Amino acid sequence: MKKATWRPGNMLYPVPAVMVSCGQYENPGDEAACNIITVAWTGTVCSDPAMVYISVRPSRHSYALIKETGEFVINLTTAKLTRSMDYCGVRSGRDHNKFEEMHLTPQVAETIKAPLIAESPVNIECKVTQIIPLGTHDMFLAEVKAVRVAEELLDETGRFQLEKAGLITYSHGTYFELGKALGKFGYSVQKKTKNKSTAKRSKNSVVKGGKKQ
């Protein structure tokens, strides 16, 4: 295919669209001093120890809260949370109580003091290990201290069914809900297995005169 050259820019899409909650929440009412920021620059950096990152502009209200406390929560977002997630990205916590205005419920975390968002199906509790100035954004590297999961996403065996959460992504200015599954990790090299009914017919077939009867 023919290609056109663009100036260097952030074109690695799609990316997660998440709500990051920060501040310190221990009792009802504490959320007034907490905040939620929408983040698309986030991802995984290490599996052992489990580590993630978020990149935030120093001018953002949440930047000072995260830098001061050294904690934040990555809250995965769903189709139902799209409006709240977008709002938290275009309104400043200096002027708005986003928990109250978006009717979101703060929850006490398991390992840190930053609040969870109860309506999110997955909450990732994070402890900052390093702040790296990069330019327009500073990167907060963090270790995952706990992951809270909605019980309805666990089947009877305890298997995590994240595909049922209805997660969304961000791509070049637009939000999208995740669609159909195309394959599982490693499916390209997985050995093919015969269909049971096909295997049974093959076993019972008798070859006569070069044809199966």
Q: How far apart are CA 122 and CA 83, in angstroms?
A: 18
Using DSSP, state whether 9 is helix, strand or coil.
coil
Q: How far apart are CA 17 and CA 127, in angstroms?
A: 20
pLDDT in tens, 19-43: 999 999 999 889 999 999 999 999 9
- pLDDT for 17 equals 96
- pLDDT for 52 equals 98
- pLDDT for 191 equals 85
pLDDT in tens, 130-148: 999 999 999 999 999 999 9
Using DSSP, state whether 146 is helix, strand or coil.
strand
H or E, element range at 83: helix 82-90
H or E, element range at 168: strand 168-171
List residues bridging with 163 in a β-sheet: none
- pLDDT for 119 equals 97
Residues of the chain where predicted confidence (pLDDT) is lower than 50: 206-208, 213
- pLDDT for 213 equals 47
